[in-house]
Amino acid sequence: MNKSLTRSIGFWLLIVLSLATGAVGGWLVNSQLTRMTTTILDGTATGVEVYVGQSLAVLGSALIGAGVLGILIALALVAVRSIIPAAAPAPLEPIDWSTPAADAPLDEAAERTTAAEADPEVVDESAPVTDPAADADSELADTRRS
């Protein structure tokens, strides 16, 4: 399948989710470091703000790293896709409208079908003829009784 990378949903999901992850990580780091700095300088810092703030800042930096990694993977996909040559499309043959159509067998089959639909009494002679009573007798003769 020759599909353009810009038309791939997976590619765009990678870019959007990478940017969103990096943005959430940046917001988390910025908000936690701002809160920690403000409370420490005011002298009102508690253990929760300092120690939990540090953990959330580390989590935010991990999210930033994941976002950056996703963007780098997207760039690598673009680079690999530009190196691989696209397959050449198969040339189409022009239609020669001057030659008669070779639909004779199909037309005969269509005529038979319409004739059978018009007259339901017509029996297809190519179908095998079977007798239901003879079939039942042969089945009874073939069964073994124990």
Provide the mean pLDDT of the chain.
79
Cα separation, 129 vs 113, in Å, equals: 20
CB 71 within 8 A of CB 18: yes
* % of the chain surpassing 90 pLDDT: 38
Cβ-based neighbour number of residue 38 at 10 Å: 12
pLDDT, tens digit, 9 for 90 and up, residues 16-47: 999 999 999 999 999 999 999 999 999 998 88
Residue 4 has pLDDT above 70, yes or no: yes
pLDDT value, residue 73: 95
Cα separation, 38 vs 45, in Å, equals: 8
CA nearest to 70, candidates 19, 28, 27, 26? 19
* Assessment of whether the complete model's pTM goes beyond 0.75: no
CA nearest to 59, candidates 16, 30, 80? 30
Higher pLDDT, 86 or 138: 86
Return all residues near 124 (Cβ < 8 A) that are at least 6 apart.
116
pLDDT value, residue 1: 46
Question: What amino acid is encoded at 83 in this protein?
Answer: I
pLDDT, tens digit, 9 for 90 and up, residues 45-59: 888 888 899 999 999
